[in-house]
Amino acid sequence: MPTEKVVSMDSFELVLSEVTVLNPLIQQFVLRAADGRALPGFSAGAHIQVQVKLPDGSQDWRHYSLINAVADSAATQAPTHYQIAVRREEAGRGGSQFMHRLQAGDKLLVQAPKNDFPLADSAAPTLLIAGGIGVTPLLSMAADLCARQRPVRMQYAARSRALLAYDTDLQALLGANLALHIDEEAGAPLDVGALLDGCAADEQVYVCGPKPMLDAVLAAAQARNWPQERVHFELFTPVVEQEGDHAFEVVLAQSGLTYQVAANQSILDCLIENGFDAMYDCQRGECGVCAVSVLEGEIDHRDYVLSAREKAEGTVMQMCISRAKGHRLVLDL
């Protein structure tokens, strides 16, 4: 019997076969190969990158978690489709707005699955903490853990019931092991401290959601002296300008070139705009790919990669998200 052909190129075109509105902010997209071939497999926590068109006519890439709600280890090995969900960000650069204008039949260029947020190979119990659109990779993790009959429970938080997504799928998978927290009903955000206090001594934690939730979980874990490797995370918030952000000068020591970084611009974007071929991936301060040595200047660290010691030393930074506290940085570039 002939082996089924699988699309295996690093970048390839897929057809949008279904678009579903999940709630006022989130739409679901199902992508398939035009000839019906199976697609490259993926593991729980993986994402694909999708090429989007921005309002100024330029093209860019956005990464979206691959969703699987089937508790079957074979479900993601050679899938017939990819399922993703996109939250519309009014304050974003336009990628999500482009996605929300798509219709069934449209074609998209995607890159093969990559996993920067994998499940650890552990038999320890697992707590999944999801906030908003951050539910997408954790749904796949819940399905994978259920398929392997590993102990798992989940805390899913949303501002309102109207903004929940995939709660029915999660209920089917987890039953009583799913807990929902609705901010407007509880009158307050999720009590992260109490949640971590209820963890078993060896329970692994995976968190995905907006920055305030992630910051709260990491701070609570640190306050309880948890080892860093116990908390696994992915951030689902675009980088936004913070109050007090200001323009500053970046000097590239190796070339002597000097650029002005705007208050609403990252160092990475400034360098790319000026023709610099920089290495980067997540653009949220999680992956560490865009790290650069700093020779002079005080760094405003905003990443989730460097340790407290590395940040205090002030000799390396993540260009995609960290900034200057003063008005000048000299980089070893």
Per the listing, tokens 């509880």 go with 186
State the pTM of this model. Answer: 0.80
**Buried-state track 161-174, b at ≥16 Cβ within 10 A, e below 16:** eebbbbeebbeebb
Helix/strand/coil for 182: strand
Q: Which domains does the chain have, with CATH numbers?
A: 11-114 (2.40.30.10), 126-235 (3.40.50.80), 248-331 (3.10.20.30)
Q: What does the pLDDT read at residue 9?
A: 64
Pairwise CA distance, residues 79 & 77, whole Å? 6
Burial of 194 (0-12, 13-18, 19+ CB in 10 A): exposed
Identify which of 169, 194, 172 has the alpha carbon closest to the alpha carbon of residue 181.
194
Would you write out the chain's pLDDT as a tens digit for each of its 333 residues? 334 455 556 899 999 999 999 999 999 999 999 999 999 999 999 999 999 999 989 898 999 999 999 999 899 999 999 999 999 988 777 999 999 999 999 999 999 999 989 999 889 999 999 999 999 999 999 999 999 999 999 999 999 999 999 999 999 999 999 999 999 999 999 999 999 999 999 999 999 998 889 989 999 999 999 998 899 998 766 566 677 899 999 999 999 999 999 998 999 989 988 988 888 877 778 788 899 999 999 999 988 888 888 999 999 999 998 999 999 999 999
Token pair belonging to 205: 């934690």
H helix runs in 45-158, sequence order? 95-100, 135-147
Pairwise CA distance, residues 235 & 133, whole Å? 10
Strand partners, 11: 111
What is each CA distance from 100 to 106, 161, 257, in whole angstroms? Answer: 12, 21, 40
Token pair belonging to 13: 């075109």
Q: What are the residues whose beta carbons fall under 8 Å from the beta carbon of 139, sequence distance 6 or more?
A: 67, 68, 69, 166, 169, 170, 173
Q: What does the pLDDT read at residue 237?
A: 60
Pairwise CA distance, residues 132 & 160, whole Å? 10
Based on C-alpha coordinates, what's the Rg of the chain?
21
